[in-house]
Structure 1
Amino acid sequence: MKGTVINTAVISTLLAASTSLAIAAGGAGVVTSDPSKHFDSKGKAPSQFTIDSQNSLRQSLPFDDKRDFEEAQRGFIAAPEYKQIMAEAGNVAWDMGSYDWLLNEGESFDTIHPSLQRQAVLNMAYGLYEVIPDKIYQVRGYDLANISFIKGKTGWIVFDPLTAKETAAAALKFINEQLGERPVVAVVYSHSHADHFGGVRGVIDEADVKSGKVKVIAPEGFMHHAVAENVMAGNAMTRRMFFQYGVLLPRSPYGHVDQSIGKNTAAGNLGLIAPNVTIDKDFVDMTVDGVKMVFQSTPGTEAPAEMNTWFPDMKAFWAAENITGTIHNIYTLRGALVRDALEWSKQINVALYEYGQEADVMFASHSWPRWGNDRIQEVMRAQRDTYAHLNNQVLHLANQGVTINQIHNEYKLPESLVRQWSAHSYHGSEEHNSRAVLNRYLGYWDANPATLMPLSPEDSAPLYVEMMGGSDKILKKGKALFEEGKYFHAIEILNKLVFAESKNQPAKDLLADVYEQIGYQKESPSVRNSFLAAAYELRHGMPTGASPKASGPDMIKGMSTGLWLDFLGVRLDTEKSAGKQYIINFITPDNGEKYLVELSNSALTNIEGVQADKADLTITIDRSELNDVMMGAHSFDDKIKAGKVKIEGDSQVIKDLMSSLVTFTMAFELLPGTLPDTDK
């Protein structure tokens, strides 16, 4: 908008940067390669140290426990003939076949941690599965999450309708083809991550929700958290997803193999229909289409708004994403607020004693069900105890002086939990989760004044390189450490050299070789992907391609006006706004909202429900009209010309504000020397 509130380009950029919503894992365009050879001309085979490590794990881990494989295939009804699902935009939204190389029976890949390979094979379940005959079904392998169907008197009650409209619609079509067509009478969002609500428009129509014909049930705070969790640092989070989720790594034994709670995330149309039923108490009993349910609110666990569900007549427990086939992230590497391991453990404990004593089946939004009360209690206790042990033992060590820079090398899971597959940290890792617990309680500082305000790496690195005798000596020592299998020792010196000499390609290539071997050895795909994606960028620069998308009209409508104004403050260039001061009354009359927006001391703030008697500018626009501008459907000038915006006061104020806003892009380096010269 030229001279009024916000122009289309600014809003489009805001949304691209701010609506990279929280999803349990990321996804993008499908990149495949020949699994028999490395996809990268600079890539290396696993070293003997890596091979020895994998062989040792094959001997020491409890691979004789086959129960997960039996449970993952139990109740299989049918698989579709297709492996790909196309997006409405014409791209491949989902390609289960891109991982078929994992199904070569008896083949062990030395480039994959044996435990991760096991998990990756378990996550190859594809098709329609029966959980309880004639009552509960799941379609698995259509997206990162499972979509679950509860058979009511007249139709389906859908739990967690996947990430994308296209995959959810395909799942509904497939179950109807196999079991007979039934309408969807209700949808339950278990929590506020996009892989659990984004496909809702593939299974229901919003008009039916607004009329009350279809119930959409969600925990308290769902809408706020579904939109808001990643807004403020959304651009940085999306860039970091290139590492954690390996979104542009080829699907290969040398690249992306799994996402721990599923194969990957569908790259289709993400939507959101607001719930018309909110669960606002710790326990809520409800009957929907003849099915009795008890909802257990579990805020502050895997998501800030989440709930489990108990089906008393079926003795079935739905564990949402609180109990799956992995220990989850306490800190997710893409970036998010640190979760509470202790609260997570306590909420599992509540479920164990409320429902776990009598449950006959436990199923969830990821992984596979468990049947039989003894088995259910075993898994619930293993995950409860893993989160509790993580919290308690980290603090036990911290209270004896172990710091955040040491804890990941000190914390160990007890052997009794190591022997239980459900206690393995695929989505998380013991290393980064232990650091997260300590950070939650004590923060990032280790109490050594030398680390409180350190030099930036690019400033300290040249001093290290000089004192170590220059790049040739560092490279020689780095190669020696690499050949000895001392990979983390090699990182310590090679990382300094790369920061000091960002154009030193031999140094970057050697550091990439080190990262690659570490990636091969890691059980957690989040950690594996981070090392392998970093290796690729060091060798070739930041890749281009389709990155994860979580924006769209529904997301924009769901964003509160206050959150949008907050993010304008994040985008403010404080040098350009220095010395400027003004007050704006911002009014959206159709929803009754009023905000006072103030610029002072190079900080842009807002407060809801307050108006200034002597504002420099008053802007009045219906929120429904603002949505159009935010989505890029119309410019603000269009709205002014159409008489949809009212301006009172000094219009120069908004021109100054707009000229002070930064347009975020993902063209920034996570590692030095990885952007094309033209972009620097």
Structure 2
Amino acid sequence: MKKIKNQILDIHLGKIKQYNLNIRNTMLILGIVFFQACINSPEKKSSQGQEHPNITKLKAQSAEFKPDIIKLNENVYVAVGYDGSNASMVIGEEGVVIVDALRALGAAEKVADEFRKITNKPVKAIIYTHGHLDHTGGTSAFTGNDTDVNIIARAGFKDELEENSPVEPILKQRNIRQFGRDLPASEVINRGVAPGITPTDRAGKGYIAPNLTFQDSIILNLAGLDVELHAADGETNDELFVWIPSLKTLFTGDNYYKSFPNLYAIRGSQYRDVKSWGESIQKMSALPIEYLVPGHTQPLTGKSVIYKNLKNYSTAILSVYQQTIDAMNMGYTLQQTVDSVKLPDSLIDQPNLQEFYGSVPWGVRSVFLHYVGWFDGNPTNLYPLSSVQEANKIIELAGGDKKMFKELNKALKEGHYQWGLQLADYLLQTDYEKTKVIEIKINLLRALAAQQVNAPARNYYLSYSYELENKNKK
């Protein structure tokens, strides 16, 4: 910065001499020059903490979760923003049908009270679009003491969830990081498709298991309405969509929301069938829909708007899938495949395909590993060096610990944050300046978080940085 200021001062001093300005004007010009140099320098911008455009964009997404009971038509009401997902009420002649039941029982009770202000008809059925806790945890708030309510889901409901996994402990930890559950409130923006902070009052305590399940599709008369339920693999393998022809209303579950879809969850999940996901959206888009209710974010109204949103969604998913398959068949390694797959230019700027929640590279990695497993075809990777061996060789190649540490600091200073993380991880395989290296890694993680439009990535970077910070203090 000093060099920049001196260069600017030399230029302006030349102008002062050229125009023979008096001392007062000279000092005024020098003061302005100095001020401009300060505010325009990268160091000053960084210290002022200017917000990255991606963070501004992510903050704007929070408007999707403003708490509200949205009336779509005389029969359909959607509760948005009361919890991490949406819950809906469909009014029929004989009663009401609830689609999804939130996560926290306390939040579900508030929504149930709001729904009862609209109608006091009894709840005849509750439909789970899939097994995730944020759609199933508050059911008893809607059923009350009535044990005759139909609770409907797909066969295989909840089979793949973390509570049934042998690696549940690490999945829970990663879940906490992805959603930023342990972050200070001041650090939280949102979760991409949900509020950043959601109710915890009796989370999951209202869950009631399904008493009616189906395999592929079923048509039921519920509360006097003919309701179609269709299996629709996508975000989960127990996902379904709800179509009510008489109301021209579709409930997509988590196969659609206003963000590029989360084809792979960094918290850890079983393979999400990407091809089937795209095909499920295609199947939905063929319906004459006038009202669309997603599992998260606000509902859509209007045939043309809905068709456009579903069409570009399915096109994006299937494009990522097919590009990945094509690259694999050309013998690309995993990283080469990730580097080659991009959304088509016509889709990149679509509002419902911004990477607030899902990420194209994550989806590519998931497809690649699903079809061929961990080995990417490069024989170099059959028996790689251990992490410690590789670190020592790279550090030696760099000229030793001190030079590597110098490069690490340089990466942070020059904004090469991902490269810096990789250098830090090499040094952390040794005992060289461990405390200082961890401090730099913390700063790198937070610098990356400050640039992220993707909420799970941002939350994970920040959560991990706080974990390191707490360990480093001990």
Could you state the TM-score of these two structures normalised by the residue count of structure 1?
0.59
Residue in structure 1 matched with residue 37 of structure 2 by the alignment: none
Match of 1:306 among 232, 236, 239: 239
Shift of 1:466: 4.0
Structure 1 residue 519 and structure 2 residue 449: aligned?
Answer: yes
Tell me the secondary structure at the aligned position of residue 428 of structure 2: helix
| Shift in alpha-carbon separation, 1:51–1:296, aligned structure 2, 3 A | farther
Shift of 1:242: 3.2
Residue in structure 2 matched with residue 224 of structure 1 by the alignment: 159
The one-letter code sitting in structure 2 at the alignment partner of 1:169 is E
Could you state the TM-score of these two structures normalised by the residue count of structure 2?
0.84
Structure 1 residue 321 and structure 2 residue 321: aligned?
Answer: no
Alignment of 1:346-357 (within 5 A): 346-353=279-286, 355=287
Match of 2:212 among 274, 277, 281: 277
Shift of 1:408: 2.9
Residue in structure 2 matched with residue 187 of structure 1 by the alignment: 126
Q: 1-side partners of 2:355 and 2:325: how far apart? A: 19
- Encode CA deviations 1:459-493: one digit per residue, 9 max, x unaligned: 54344334433332222111222222222222221
Residue in structure 1 matched with residue 26 of structure 2 by the alignment: none
Alignment of 1:499-648 (within 5 A): 499-501=429-431, 504-541=434-471
The one-letter code sitting in structure 1 at the alignment partner of 2:235 is E
Does the 8 A contact of 2:333 with 2:378 survive in 1? no
The one-letter code sitting in structure 2 at the alignment partner of 1:262 is A
Shift of 1:174: 2.3
Higher helix share: 2
- Encode CA deviations 1:47-87: one digit per residue, 9 max, x unaligned: 959989xxxxxxxxxxxxxxxxxxxxxxxxxxxxxxxxxxx
Match of 1:420 among 331, 334, 350: 350
Does the 8 A contact of 2:401 with 2:432 survive in 1? no
Q: 2-side partners of 1:483 and 1:149: how far apart? A: 53
The one-letter code sitting in structure 2 at the alignment partner of 1:186 is A
Structure 1 residue 260 and structure 2 residue 192: aligned?
Answer: yes
Residue in structure 2 matched with residue 71 of structure 1 by the alignment: none
Does the 8 A contact of 2:263 with 2:359 survive in 1? no
Tell me the secondary structure at the aligned position of residue 97 of structure 2: strand
Structure 1 residue 146 and structure 2 residue 146: aligned?
Answer: no
- Encode CA deviations 1:513-538: one digit per residue, 9 max, x unaligned: 22212112122111111222222223
| Shift in alpha-carbon separation, 1:244–1:455, aligned structure 2, 3 A | farther
Q: 1-side partners of 2:173 and 2:388: how far apart? A: 20
- Encode CA deviations 1:296-316: one digit per residue, 9 max, x unaligned: 111x31111111011111111
Shift of 1:131: 1.4
Does the 8 A contact of 2:174 with 2:268 survive in 1? yes
Residue in structure 2 matched with residue 297 of structure 1 by the alignment: 231
Does the 8 A contact of 1:126 with 1:141 survive in 2? yes
Residue in structure 2 matched with residue 237 of structure 1 by the alignment: 171
Does the 8 A contact of 2:289 with 2:306 survive in 1? yes
Alignment of 1:121-520 (within 5 A): 121-123=63-65, 125-132=66-73, 134-177=74-117, 179-205=118-144, 208-209=146-147, 213-225=148-160, 230-252=164-186, 255-264=187-196, 265-269=198-202, 270-271=204-205, 272-280=207-215, 282-298=216-232, 300-353=233-286, 355=287, 358-501=288-431, 504-520=434-450
The one-letter code sitting in structure 1 at the alignment partner of 2:57 is S
Higher relative contact order (CA 8 A, sep 6+): 1
Percent identity over paired residues: 25
Q: 2-side partners of 1:193 and 1:522: how far apart? A: 26
Q: 1-side partners of 2:243 and 2:164: how far apart? A: 30
| Shift in alpha-carbon separation, 1:502–1:136, aligned structure 2, 3 A | farther
| Shift in alpha-carbon separation, 1:113–1:50, aligned structure 2, 3 A | farther
Alignment of 1:87-98 (within 5 A): none
Gaps of 5+ in 2: 1-40
Residue in structure 1 matched with residue 8 of structure 2 by the alignment: none
The one-letter code sitting in structure 2 at the alignment partner of 1:510 is I
Q: 1-side partners of 2:44 and 2:416: how far apart? A: 11
Q: 1-side partners of 2:363 and 2:45: how far apart? A: 26
Q: 1-side partners of 2:381 and 2:361: how far apart? A: 20
- Encode CA deviations 1:217-265: one digit per residue, 9 max, x unaligned: 1112115346x6642211010112232222111233xx32111121144
Residue in structure 2 matched with residue 118 of structure 1 by the alignment: 60
Does the 8 A contact of 1:139 with 1:146 survive in 2? yes
Does the 8 A contact of 1:230 with 1:237 survive in 2? no
Tell me the secondary structure at the aligned position of residue 174 of structure 2: helix
Q: 1-side partners of 2:43 and 2:294: how far apart? A: 38
Tell me the secondary structure at the aligned position of residue 240 of structure 1: helix
Does the 8 A contact of 2:256 with 2:295 survive in 1? no
Matched residue pairs, number? 428
Q: 2-side partners of 1:443 and 1:51: how far apart? A: 44
Does the 8 A contact of 2:260 with 2:357 survive in 1? yes
Tell me the secondary structure at the aligned position of residue 284 of structure 1: strand
What RMSD in Å do the two structures reach over aligned CA positions? 2.4
Runs of 4+ deviating beyond 4 Å:
47-52
Shift of 1:152: 2.1
Shift of 1:143: 0.8
The one-letter code sitting in structure 2 at the alignment partner of 1:258 is N
